[in-house]
Structure 1
């Protein structure tokens, strides 16, 4: 496939480019905003005024001239950082290099359309889903989730079709939106696994409601098809004399030659009612006349029917139910509650397991790498489509703070290539990787005032409370605070500290003093946002490199599935196993 053109050595070369850049720039990403003023972070790491940094962001391509660093920092620079002091002296250069070391700049990502074309290259021209049968997920999920589910489900369905499988396993399925859509839209048998029993119960209830929605949708679809067919043959909804049949929106077809039944208007499918225009509705109601439907004969109690007649009616009812049952009912997904790792035996969780596609939509922390390891380890998994998130929750193998006695496989790095280099990012840098550059560029995403409040609070804790280094978190105090003074008092109470020793005037003085330096914090956070795509890129390149290292994997790629403005974590790691490897496993 065209999208897997990059070889393992080429991926490793891209990783080397990113790690060389981040080895110099990572200090900015690892600086903690809470300690911004107490550690004087700006003066430690940046040698230019904050206004110059902000100006570079507002006119990246149009920046004129070079910055004027002073003293020692006129010496040689690398990526905009002074080689001697390691401080940033050339903001435009940093912005340029950061863009070049993001995933789009490195040229390692395929688009969603490219992947779909490759998967369908040797497949029938018709799409996996029936043309014109599209569900509208906006009816049961928000616009962001709808965009994610529709975009990813088509890729998953194409993977399933390409690999010739009908089962999907969704790890970290959460509320089951992706599972439901895959089963309803693409007639796939989906198993959703989530460690939260609350999520599983919620998914079961949502599944029940969507099952009703599916039945209504199928009846609506069948009714439309019948109406279209009958209209081509007859002039008035298929009614043309005594021998014709009246189709009442999914109700039993009625013929005057058969035993007539009452037509209950309250049972007419509400979805059909809402979609019909006034003219169609008038025609439909006019069809329900004494000329079209005979007056039913008195109902005979079951006790008075012969045994043969009761058996005949029972048999007909069963046949009728089987005919009217929506084709996708059997494939509505099965929510399961379980904590899974690469060592989890899927066949112990799923008795009916066959070959399947493994998926994960925004799986948090270590679950995303565990999904990829599971794909490699389990022979029944033919392909994988994994979109991770919450990089700050990843465990790092080379973390100096990690306990030596800690067991289990870490989430980063995955590839043997980066593990051999003992590469370490740091939690603050991984937290920075979660920032959304596209949104911030449009003025969204960073709540500067809350960050400013928290940093100044840390100064107050340092100056007035011996326990200011406490790891106890302040929590979401900002959203309830009416002013900075109110914020500080709420925070002190949350930390169980004596607030009476600080008058309001002292607290306000801290605010006013550091307000003059708020541009430093704003500019510094913009620098962190600039580095975010590079750190995310390294994490995802590591995952792709891991798949490239596996002999069993014949295809692997990074694919941009989503619009980053709607869904910032927009990249999927996609992989497929070779048929020869599958045959080898079966023979063993």
Structure 2
């Protein structure tokens, strides 16, 4: 049975399966690491040694666990003793966790399967190609993670747009505009990127301006190469090297002419800002180095020559090029445009008040935080002009929960979870700590990444010290990022006490060391417990995503709704998208 053919009843049945599993395990996910020792968490929930848990998890990650025979051991439910509700069979818990994750439930389709279905009734020649020129290589202007996400998602969005016969895309929570820029330039779509941060929208506009110029320069080179019978060479291969400028400026581009004679080549018109300085000032080695380095074709120019020293022919040539450039801007296709907008959006937002030229569109969101992901789905359902949706959420800990008795009240009239009427009728909630656990990346942790055990251990032992010596301490006060600035546990505690404005003279260094030695023998307990949390993470995330899918299944005018694994979870742990199509769009046959 294909995931696209699952009925509302099928999804509700799987939700019930995950709920039954989480009813036994949510207590582990909701246990706060800070209180691990003060609340004796290990003894409350686990009845086996920590080494047994760590060994079982290690074997499970290597897929060497014994095959499941389908029957639960007598007296246990998912590995928990029915009398004490403590974990007694780790292997059974791990098997059950895999079975109740999205892959185990069989509800997700792959990206390739979705693309094949979307393209099923569309000729290959009708699939949206790259804009009007050479393809952009995303990995030239984004880091590997963002490049993977943008390329994977943009092809799906491009196919959705073609499938629904629309030319507009609304990117909710567009952030720095990478996806929006790529969609507009690569797929010739008019994209409106909406973000609540003015800094993000202004930055996205500037990035898109530069990328668009890069794209034009790239296409200009490709066209010139094709004209000269050199179509097999890329524009990067056409440019020979980068040499110091005549006035000491770096990054002046030189091309190679006949006979290997270097000639200055001005790719883009002059600017009032020194482009080399502009490029260096925006360079962020961690996130944008690849992006900005690829913009050299845009922002780099040869040293200026005073107009008085130019020949009449050169002045006329430059004047003609400037006029042609201005004319090109006026006649550019209005379809391939990215327009960043600053606004806080909810399902009640009137899109036509934000976008005067709004037509039927696809609404998308790439890693929209917290309540913005469910708001995107509500917007899709509520707005008749939205023909399709592709939403990838993240930051589950920022979701507001309607029925959590200890959670904060919803900031708006509608909470982010649960979204479906099915779970709302049951007043289901997960709890904030469980939602934080859902953000853990199982695949990365399996490779030894993702959990900073030392800092968690320090924080839990600090909590013991605060309980024993500072009865007036208010637990809601946060220590903050102290660990990264310290080299020893004593230093950590003293910095934390100062941050909390507590009297550190109450404790000597030897007192602090004594706590460290006492609890160091129990570090394996915390390590093993956190590995159990990581194991449960895909199940909690799965319930949140099944709730969103169920919400779309409940809508009469949604013809198709499915969960799709868009990304490699090692590169992008929040890898699942909720995809939906309205009834009046083209139907995908099962």
TM-score, length basis structure 2: 0.82
Q: How does 1:181-330 map to 2 (within 5 A)?
A: 181-228=182-229, 281-282=258-259, 299=312, 322=327
Any stretches of 5+ residues in structure 2 without a counterpart? 233-237, 240-245, 266-310
Written as runs of structure 1 = structure 2, the 5 A alignment for 1:431-470 is 431-470=436-475
1:293-372 to 2 correspondence within 5 Å?
Answer: 299=312, 322=327, 331-372=336-377
Deviation of the 1:210 alpha carbon:
1.4
Find the counterpart in structure 2 of residue 239 from structure 1: none
Preserved contact between residue 3 and residue 115 of structure 1 (Cα < 8 Å): no
The 1:530/1:283 distance shift into structure 2, 3 A limit, reads: same
How big is the shift at 1:432?
0.1
Q: State the Cα distance separating 1:203 from its structure 2 match.
A: 1.1
Offset at 1:418? 0.6
Are the structure 2 counterparts of residues 90 and 469 from structure 1 closer, same or farther at C-alpha, using a change threshold of 3 Å? farther
Q: How far did 1:329 drift?
A: 7.8
Q: 1:426-455 CA distances to partner (integer Å, 9 max, x unpaired)?
A: 000000000000000111111100000000
Aligned residues of 2:441 and 2:573 also touching (Cα < 8 A): yes
- Of 133-142 and 359-368, the range deviating more from structure 2: 133-142
Query: Is contact 1:173–1:194 with CA below 8 Å preserved after alignment?
Result: yes
**1:225-267: CA deviation from partner (whole Å, max 9, x where unpaired):** 2222899xxxxxxxxxxxxxxxxx99xxxxxxxxxxxxxxx9x
**3-state SS, counterpart of residue 226 of structure 2:** helix
Answering whether residue 66 of structure 2 is matched by residue 59 of structure 1, we say no
Check 1:498–1:227 CA distance in 2 against 1; reply closer, same or farther (3 A cut): same
TM-aligned CA deviation for residue 273 of structure 1: 7.0
Q: Mark the CA change 1:405 to 1:442 in structure 2 (over 3 Å): closer, same or farther.
A: closer
Matched, 1:571 2:548: no
Partners of 2:520 and 2:503 in 1: how far apart? Answer: 25
User: SS of the residue aligned with 2:124?
Assistant: coil
Q: 1:301 to 1:188 in 2, by over 3 A?
A: closer
Q: Which residue of 2 aligns with 1:118?
A: 117
1:403–1:460 distance in 2 versus 1, CA, 3 Å: closer
Judged with a 3 Å threshold, the aligned counterparts in structure 2 of structure 1 residues 494 and 404 are, in CA distance, closer, same or farther, namely closer
Instruction: Report the count of equivalent residues.
Output: 520
CA distance in 2: counterparts of 1:324 and 1:412, whole angstroms:
45
The answer to whether structure 1 residue 17 and structure 2 residue 22 are counterparts is: no
Q: Distance in 2 between matches of 1:136 and 1:62?
A: 40
- What secondary structure is seen at the aligned counterpart in 2 of 1:413? coil
The reply on whether 1:540 has 2:542 as its aligned counterpart is: no
- Residue 33 (structure 1) aligns with: 33
Structure-1 residue corresponding to 2:406:
401
- Counterpart Cα distance in 2 of 1:86 and 1:301: 85
Is 1:392 the counterpart of 2:402 in the alignment?
Answer: no
Partner of 2:563: 558
Hey, what's the Cα distance between the residues in 2 that align with 1:529 and 1:383? 33
| Deviation sequence 1:188-208 (CA, Å, 0-9, x none) | 111110001111121122122
Structure 2 distance, partners of 1:230, 1:464, is 75
Is residue 2:554 matched to residue 1:549? yes
Task: Give yes or no for contact 1:116–1:155 (8 Å, CA) kept in 2.
Answer: yes
1:58-114 per-residue CA deviation (whole Å, 9 max, x = no partner) reads 223545799xxxxxxx97100000011100000000000000000000000000000
Q: Is the 8 A contact 1:182 1:190 kept in 2?
A: yes
Larger-Rg structure: 1
For normalisation by structure 1, the TM-score amounts to 0.82
Q: How does 1:42-81 map to 2 (within 5 A)?
A: 42-60=42-60, 61-62=63-64, 76-81=75-80
CA contact (8 A) 1:184 1:328 kept: no
CA distance in 2, matches of 1:522, 1:123: 52
SS at 2:569's partner residue?
coil
Aligned to 1:162: 163
User: Is contact 1:56-1:92 (8 Å) kept?
Assistant: yes
Q: How many angstroms does 1:403 deviate by?
A: 6.5
Name the CA distance, whole Å, in 2 between partners of 1:142 and 1:178: 13
| Structure-1 separation of matches of 2:384 and 2:74 | 57
- Compute the displacement of 1:133 (Å): 2.7
Whether the 8 Å contact between 2:161 and 2:167 is mirrored in structure 1 is: yes
Aligned-partner Cα distance in 1 for 2:529–2:7: 37
Cα deviation, 1:273-329, whole Å, max 9, x if unaligned, reads 77x7x6x7537889x9xxxxxxxxx84999xxxxxxx9xx99998568646989568
Say if 1:172 and 1:194, in contact at 8 Å, map to a contact too: yes
C-alpha distance after superposition, 1:500-549 (max 9, x if no partner): 11111000110010000000000000000000000000000000000000
Task: Tell me what 1:107 maps to.
Answer: 106
Q: CA deviation at 1:223?
A: 1.3
Q: Which residue of 2 aligns with 1:262?
A: none
- Equivalent-residue separation in structure 2 for 1:437 and 1:129 (angstroms): 36
Deviates more, 1:37-46 or 1:197-206: 197-206
